[in-house]
Amino acid sequence: KNEVEQSPQNLTAQEGEFITINCSYSVGISALHWLQQHPGGGIVSLFMLSSGKKKHGRLIATINIQEKHSSLHITASHPRDSAVYICAVKGAQKLVFGQGTRLTINP
């Protein structure tokens, strides 16, 4: 079993839909990151969380430390949100990554 599990692996939705991507982890962490990787391959850091909730534009990330679970939400999704979303947890120093969720938003 991987230390970081994401679900779903693939998600296709229509423009405007509310999107939720889940991340569960089995190790103790100091922080959790949500990353976005576009088809061109570049990686952008969206959020870093150690507790609670963060919001940036249409993106919301939450984390429940007791349940070892985090969610990434996208409101009013748009085709430009199509990308791979990656959850990564940080212990002492290094990041451990989930396999990613491939999101496709159709117009």
Partner 1 sequence: NAGVMQNPRHLVRRRGQEARLRCSPMKGHSHVYWYRQLPEEGLKFMVYLQKENIIDESGMPKERFSAEFPKEGPSILRIQQVVRGDSAAYFCASSPVAGTTDTQYFGPGTRLTVL
Q: Point out which span in 20-28, 31-39, 53-61, 73-81 binds partner 1 (CB under 8 A).
A: 31-39
Query: If we measure between CA atoms, which residue out of 73, 80, 9, 13 comes closest to residue 40?
Result: 80
Cα 91 to the chain's mean position, in Å? 17
**Cβ closer to partner 1: 44 or 76?**
44
| Distance from C-alpha of 74 to C-alpha of 16, rounded to nearest angstrom | 9
Does residue 23 interact with partner 1 by CB under 8 A?
no
Does residue 92 interact with partner 1 by CB under 8 A?
yes
Does residue 100 interact with partner 1 by CB under 8 A?
yes
Cα 43 to the chain's mean position, in Å? 12
Residue keyed to tokens 């990686």? 43
Does residue 70 interact with partner 1 by CB under 8 A?
no
Q: Please give the backbone phi and psi of residue 40, each rounded to the nearest 5 degrees, phi first.
A: -70, -15
* Least separation in angstroms between CB 10 and partner 1: 13
| Distance from C-alpha of 77 to C-alpha of 79, rounded to nearest angstrom | 7
Of these, 48, 62, 71, 102, which contacts partner 1 (CB under 8 A)? 48
Positions touching partner 1 (CB under 8 A) are: 30-31, 33, 35, 41-45, 48, 50, 86, 88, 90, 92-100
